[in-house]
Amino acid sequence: MGARRLVEDMIHKLKDRDSLILVGSVMGLGLILWLMALPLATLPAPIGPAAAQFSAGALTTIELTLWASVFGLVLGILAALGKRSHIPPARWVADLYVWVIRGTPLLLQILFFFLAVPAIAPQLQLSEFWTAVIALSLNVGAYNAEVIRAGINAVPTGQVEAARSLGLSLVYTFWDIVLPQAVRISLPPLANNMVALLKDSSLAYAIGVVELSMVSSRVQAESFQPVPVFMTVAAIYLLLTTTFTQFAAALERKLAVGKR
């Protein structure tokens, strides 16, 4: 009994630690964005005078990442369902979407939505920020589709058959039984896709979005000092990716990934 209680206490403490890490990661991200300009302002030129620009660029990078992550997750689920569909047109559209997006460079996709789509349909012209969000969402959604499809395939078919035998509808079975387990199984690669998306958002500078890469390019062009500028941007990216990684790792442990 003593050993069992000791193990239970250790598990409880581990869960509490994961909860603290989850909360701490979110709060840490907010503190990074809120207080970033303060330590940067104490640095010598060219970093100090441009501290507010770096802070604003980091905020834009985070906004791009979060919006694209949400939309990309929805697109990934829809595309994964399409690839598993018994309806041929739905399967063909999903396969085509994943094939095209995964087979072309992200920079080309961003430029296509910024330059080609307004030429084809002028009424669809959007701001640079939302154009980047759409391109990034479509890109990460294609990669999420394969991850989620693999997660759905990993859910034991016996659970689906048991749910159907109990009279549950297909929609209820998928929503309450299959999808939660598939997302839990897929969480590690989905987290990796989100971290990769954070770094890939730097390509939005190509269409004029003022994020970290654009800020670094402007400050470097004004100061002709590339070493401190790029080292500062690299440090900011490391802070952001580390925060995202810690959050994802704690979430994986909290959800007991792989235990079904």
* Residue-wise pLDDT tens digits, 61-77: 999 999 999 999 999 99
Query: Which residue in the block uniquely carries the two structure tokens 């080292």?
Result: 231
- Please say if the pLDDT value at position 25 is more than 90: no
Express each pLDDT in 26-53 by its tens digit.
555 656 665 667 778 788 889 889 888 9
Task: Give the pLDDT confidence score for residue 43 in this predicted structure.
Answer: 83
DSSP 174: I
Q: Are 183 and 148 in contact (CB under 8 A)?
A: yes
User: Under a CB-based contact definition with an 8 Å cutoff, are residues 150 and 84 in contact?
Assistant: no
The candidate with the shortest Cα–Cα distance to 145, out of 222, 85, 73, is: 73
φ/ψ (deg, to 5) at 125 = -70, 125
Domains of the chain: 2-39+49-254 (1.10.3720.10)
Q: pTM score, two decimals?
A: 0.84
Crossing angle of helices 226-254 and 51-84, rounded to 10°: 40
pLDDT of 125-165, one tens digit each? 889 999 999 999 999 999 999 999 999 888 888 877 787 77
Number of alpha helices (DSSP H) and beta strands (DSSP E) in the chain: 12, 0
Tokens of 102: 């995964």
pLDDT, tens digit, 9 for 90 and up, residues 85-131 = 889 999 999 999 999 999 999 999 999 999 999 999 888 888 999 99
